[in-house]
Amino acid sequence: MLLALSMPKPALAPLGWVALGPLCLAVARTASRPAPRGPRPFLLGLVTGLVAFAATISWTSDVLAIFGGLNAVLAWGLAALLIAYLAVYPAIFSLALTTAVARAGTAALAVAPLLWVGTEGLRGTLFTGFPWVLLGYSQSDTVAPLQVASLVGIYGLSGLVACPSAALALLATRDRRRSRPHLVAAALLLALPAAGAAWGAWRVGQQALVQGPAIRVALVQGNIPQGQKWDPAYRDRILDRYLSLTQEASQQRVDLVVWPESSTPFVFGRDGLQTEVMRAAVRRARVPVVFGSDEVVDEREFYNAALVMDERGEIIGSYRKMQLVPFGEYIPVRWLLFFAQPLVEGFSDFSAGESLTLLPVGAHRLSVAVCYEAVFPWLSRRAVGQGSQMLATITNDAWYGMSAAPYQHFQQARVRAVETGRYLVRAANTGISGVVDPYGRIVVQSPLFQTGLWIGEARWLDGHTVYVRLGDSLMWTCMLVTGAVLLLPLWERARRHGRSGHV
């Protein structure tokens, strides 16, 4: 529950620092028991994961029921399967930590942050990954500790947040005969977050990342209900809303307008009349527009794309979404899902883009993450490495209603700005739209389900953070450590068997 409460909503950030403490303590007590321990180490983490994910991503059932056309029972069943799958990763953490403590004593609790990062990294990469509500995201609102993400990314920040939990478990389980090593390890684990926060406060105070050329960005929040989005009866009304807000933005002398994901109520370029109406309106506004639209090559190849139209009404760049949403934009192992035919039958798979393309805006370069892509740190890191001077996210979070999902999504996108040292501009159909500076501070933010225009100042920036240079090397190292710990019993067993066989 501490894990869940530290995430949006209610985003009680201090709880994140101690959230793993009860689990670490339970693992230490389990590991101190004489073997065999049975399934208890695995079950401790599994229960932790079931409660945490049930409380944070249960909104997936509503998405499947309302927009997937499933009955409530089946929707809840599929959501429960996802929750159960995600709970396996805390269970692996618990199993690895039990193995470490059983062999090295309770002092091995000090490696809990490394093992947690290893299992979060596995969750974020295996089967295309689902890096949602990672522990580090609990600190999205705490500016000073958040700066650590510029060094080691979100996974490294998760490890830092896990340190006090491990320290508390060490202090609660220390053996009097070995009290000094426990106290030293606990002191180091508590000193790391303090040092990280102090460095982060200093970094923010320097204001070195807000010195580039300024640009006024207008974020258009169309607030189109999902049920109307592709209804031909609403097509002209929807397009008129976006064009009217764009004209209003041009009168306020903005330099760039950003529309949300799939904002055009038609396939741009395929519907000649609507396409020309849009081109003419942008020429009158005389401002470049980044917008989302489906991009169709043929009936088997179509993409969720972001395009940029210049002041002349010409398309000068496009990006095709690479990281698609399972069960949202494509059906994995479709042939196995016989029990979810209502969802599968009415669904056409999008194609995945093959390359990360930067969009030109004048003399500068902008990278776009389409919706779900914003939670994958490697995408924005690679874009900045290729020359992106600003991050943009276009999304449609209407699917999530008034649940915690839009807040979780926005908080996770904020961390990309800190990791890469770039401004982030985000346009969402129903919100949350906003501008975030390279320190993760919100410049402007819209409420949910309001139609309007939000204007904020951003800057084109150059240079690379440590994270952009080194990437997720810490996360991969932690994954290797976790794997080695889990394989240790097998190695010991094989070694004993080898000795007995030799004798």
Active-site annotation, residues: 261, 321, 371
Q: Give Cα separations from 353 to 210, 324, 359, 371, 378 (angstroms).
A: 32, 9, 15, 14, 15
Mapping DSSP to helix (H, G, I), strand (E, B) and coil, where does residue 54 land?
A: helix
Q: How many CA atoms lie within 13 A of 306 on its CB side?
A: 30
Taking the CB of residue 497, how many other CB atoms lie within 10 A of it? Answer: 10
Q: Give Cα separations from 308 to 180, 357, 387, 419 (angstroms).
A: 61, 12, 17, 25
The label of the residue with tokens 């097998």 reads 490
Per-residue exposure over 279-304, b if at least 16 CB sit within 10 Å of its own CB, e if not? bebbeebebbbbbbbbbbeeeeebbb
Whole-number Å distance between alpha carbons of 257 and 249: 7
Whole-number Å distance between alpha carbons of 422 and 389: 7
Q: What are phi and psi of 199, to 5 degrees?
A: -65, -40
Which contiguous run of DSSP H or E holds residue 202? helix 179-206
Let me know the angle formed at the C-alpha of 390 by 389 and 394, rounded to the nearest 5 degrees: 145
Whole-number Å distance between alpha carbons of 215 and 193: 35
